[in-house]
């Protein structure tokens, strides 16, 4: 028959939900601590509880060695000869126990110390039990009772342990009264100095999934499957469902007759809005559904590997597609797992126009690329802020002569060089098709290749070369005549303004 002490230990273990052997070990460790404190010894002490009598015996344990020279610490080791005086059957490597008197000598202080050790061991065992109980139940839905409210946190009673629901795990639409029973999700279990902290949530998407499984039989039996959930607690939830049976409407099954099923879930969530969407494997079609109630004009995939979509909506639908504070598009992106860019028709049109304008933007050519301009002249023009051929071509002779170090002859030289440059560009463009045709010519015309300016060299026909030289000469004569006429106009003295008839 077990002693009263052991029966008390067994009752305590049942109350705390821990193994009775853990409490027995705690009591034995407490006796060891008290005995060591009383005897002030460094011996290896052990204690044993006798279940029948309830008496706790303390012992000093020593390890048996063969020879005296092997004894390193007399408090911990003993030779085999001395050990056999206590226990004739002991062998080398065994242990010999020497009883320590504890009854009636430990006193009040030792008993108080033993009590503290027992309580500490029991608390640690209780923490480990709670942690092991709930660490494997993360994500599970449990019924909890509101025990108390500590500031923004709500403390729930789970039966075997207390749980805490911080503010960020609550819905802004909900408030709780002490004693109220609610369904919560076990979010995580944390090890803390004061014991394991079980954190529960009413904002997790798993709660919505559990409510749909409870209210919709088709989801419970697997006919309708929930593929994705995106939720912002207290605001809106988007849930994507798919039917495995072609005769069952997934969205209709979740809504129920006259919306009875979904309305029951909305009441449980204190009025949170719920969008039920039909799931599609195609990301483009799924995006159009996910952005409801906005109507989407078109969806295009910008980057498949990076999962990036561009959605274009009508100007009147832009604010509806984005939602309040971007909520609608944010939930849709979370539901799809893709990044979504939303643009209106007007924004898309402006973007296309800007891209087209960048394509037709004229290029600029540095002055160093123009043959006929010396380094000194390029430096003078550059000092005046003229660095490109296009800017130089837009200037009048009077503006050029206003630059220090540039006279009429220099202006004529600049004009001739610029005209020759643009003439060479036009000639290169005109000769481009001819060069292609020449490249496809018969084998008798081998050795022709395109030069950087587009003209054919190394094998052109004499007639083509003569034609090109004649055109260049005519262009130079025309340029010289224009430059001479410009110079004569600049050298004429100022005259009285002529009448309109004289000008004609």
The DSSP output letter for 17 is T
Q: In 450-487, which positions are buried (b, 16+ CB within 10 angstroms) versus exposed (e)? A: beeebbbeeebeeeeeeebeeeeeebeeebeeebeebb
Strand partners, 236: 232, 273
What is the spatial distance between Cα 477 and Cα 394, in angstroms, rounded to a whole number?
A: 21
What is the spatial distance between Cα 231 and Cα 238, in angstroms, rounded to a whole number?
A: 6
The pLDDT of residue 431 is 45
Q: How confident is the model at residue 442 (pLDDT cuts 50, 70, 90)?
A: very low
**In the predicted structure, residue 470 carries a pLDDT above the cut 70:** no
Strand stretches in 422-498, DSSP E? 449-450, 456-457
Q: Which helix (H) or strand (E) holds 297?
A: strand 296-303
Residue whose token pair is 């010999």: 96
Q: Is the dihedral of CA 95, 98, 103, 107 positive or negative?
A: negative
Residue 430 tokens, joined:
């005109």
Does the model's pTM come out above 0.85?
no
Residue count (the chain): 504
Helix segments in 40-93, DSSP class H: 80-86
User: How many helices and strands (H and E) does the chain possess?
Assistant: 18, 17
The pLDDT of residue 457 is 38
Comparing CA positions, the residue from 235, 196, 239 lying closest to residue 215 is 239
Neighbours of 35 (CB within 10 A): 25
Q: What is the 3-state secondary structure (H, E, C) of 205-265?
A: HHHHHHHHHHHCHHHHCCCEEEEEEEEECCCEEEEEEEECCCCCCHHHHHHCHHHHHHHHH
Q: How confident is the model at residue 489 (pLDDT cuts 50, 70, 90)?
A: very low
Strand partners, 59: 46, 99
Residue whose token pair is 């000093």: 60
- Residue with more model confidence, 433 or 28: 28
Strand partners, 143: 183
Contacts of 230 by beta carbon, 8 Å cutoff, 6+ apart: 205, 237, 238, 239, 331, 332, 334, 335
Contacts of 97 by beta carbon, 8 Å cutoff, 6+ apart: 46, 59, 60, 61
**In the predicted structure, residue 45 carries a pLDDT above the cut 50:** yes
Contacts of 457 by beta carbon, 8 Å cutoff, 6+ apart: 448, 449, 451
Q: Is the dihedral of CA 334, 335, 337, 339 positive or negative?
A: negative
Range with the lowest mean pLDDT among 24-33, 199-208, 345-354?
Answer: 24-33
pLDDT digits (tens, 9 = 90+) for 259-318: 999 999 999 898 999 999 999 999 899 999 999 888 898 898 888 788 899 999 998 889
What is the spatial distance between Cα 332 and Cα 322, in angstroms, rounded to a whole number?
A: 10
**In the predicted structure, residue 486 carries a pLDDT above the cut 70:** no
The DSSP output letter for 2 is -
Contacts of 458 by beta carbon, 8 Å cutoff, 6+ apart: 447, 448, 449
The pLDDT of residue 494 is 39
CB of 90 within 8 A of CB of 96?
A: yes
Strand partners, 98: 60
- Residue with more model confidence, 39 or 315: 315
Q: Which helix (H) or strand (E) holds 49?
A: strand 44-49
The pLDDT of residue 79 is 87
pLDDT digits (tens, 9 = 90+) for 143-167: 999 999 998 999 999 887 889 999 9
321 phi and psi angles, rounded to 5 deg: -70, -40
294 phi and psi angles, rounded to 5 deg: -75, 145
The pLDDT of residue 264 is 92
What is the spatial distance between Cα 371 and Cα 465, in angstroms, rounded to a whole number?
A: 21
CB of 27 within 8 A of CB of 118?
A: yes
CB of 309 within 8 A of CB of 284?
A: yes
- Residue with more model confidence, 148 or 102: 148
Quick one: 283 exposed, middle or buried, by C-beta within 10 A (0-12, 13-18, 19+)?
middle
CB of 157 within 8 A of CB of 147?
A: yes
pLDDT digits (tens, 9 = 90+) for 226-241: 999 999 998 999 999 9
Rounded to 5 degrees, what angle do the CA atoms 190, 191, 196 make?
A: 85
């Amino acid at each position: 028959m077990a002693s009263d002490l052991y029966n008390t230990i067994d009752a305590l273990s049942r109350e705390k939900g821990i193994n009775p052997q853990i409490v027995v070990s705690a009591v034995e460790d407490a006796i060891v601590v008290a005995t060591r404190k009383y005897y002030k010894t460094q011996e290896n002490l052990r204690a044993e509880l006798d279940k029948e009598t309830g008496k706790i015996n303390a012992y000093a344990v020593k390890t048996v060695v063969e020879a005296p020279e092997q004894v390193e610490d007399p408090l911990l080791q003993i030779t085999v000869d001395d050990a056999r005086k206590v226990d004739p059957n002991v062998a080398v490597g065994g242990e010999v126990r020497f009883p320590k008197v504890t009854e009636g000598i430990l006193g009040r202080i030792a008993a108080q110390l033993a009590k503290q050790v027992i309580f500490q061991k029991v608390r640690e065992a209780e923490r480990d039990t709670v942690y092991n109980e709930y660490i494997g139940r993360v994500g599970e839905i449990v019924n909890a009772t509101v025990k108390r409210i500590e500031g923004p946190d709500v403390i729930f009673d789970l039966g075997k342990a207390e749980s805490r629901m911080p503010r960020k795990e609550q819905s802004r639409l909900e408030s709780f009264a002490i004693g109220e029973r609610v369904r919560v999700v076990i979010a995580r279990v944390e090890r803390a100095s004061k014991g394991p902290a079980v954190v529960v949530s009413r904002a997790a998407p798993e709660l919505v999934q559990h409510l749909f499984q409870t209210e919709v039989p088709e989801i419970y039996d697997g006919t309708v499957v929930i593929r994705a959930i995106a939720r912002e607690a207290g605001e809106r939830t988007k849930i994507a469902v798919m039917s495995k049976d072609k005769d069952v409407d997934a969205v209709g099954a979740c809504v129920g007759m006259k919306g009875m099923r979904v309305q029951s879930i909305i009441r449980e969530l204190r009025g949170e809005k719920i969008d039920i969407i039909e799931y599609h494997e195609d990301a483009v079609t799924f995006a159009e559904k996910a952005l409801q109630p906005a109507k989407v004009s078109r969806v295009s995939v910008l980057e498949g590997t990076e999962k990036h979509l561009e959605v274009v909506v009508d100007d009147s639908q832009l604010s509806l597609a984005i939602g309040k504070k971007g909520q609608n598009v944010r939930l849709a992106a979370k539901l799809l797992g893709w990044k979504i860019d939303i643009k209106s028709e007007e924004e898309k049109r402006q973007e296309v126009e800007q891209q087209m304008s960048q394509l037709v933007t004229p290029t600029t050519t540095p002055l160093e690329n123009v043959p006929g301009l010396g380094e000194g002249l390029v430096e003078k023009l550059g000092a005046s802020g003229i660095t490109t051929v296009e800017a130089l071509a837009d200037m009048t002779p009077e503006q050029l002569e206003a630059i220090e170090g540039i006279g009429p002859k220099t202006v004529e030289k600049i004009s001739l060089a610029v005209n020759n440059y643009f003439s060479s560009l036009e000639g290169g463009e005109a000769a481009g098709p001819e060069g292609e045709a020449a490249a496809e010519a018969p084998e008798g015309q081998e050795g022709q290749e395109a030069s950087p300016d587009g003209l054919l060299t190394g094998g052109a026909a004499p007639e083509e070369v003569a034609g090109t030289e004649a055109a260049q000469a005519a262009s130079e004569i025309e340029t010289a005549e224009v430059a001479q006429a410009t110079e004569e106009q600049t050298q004429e003295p100022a005259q009285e303004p002529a009448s309109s008839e004289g000008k004609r």
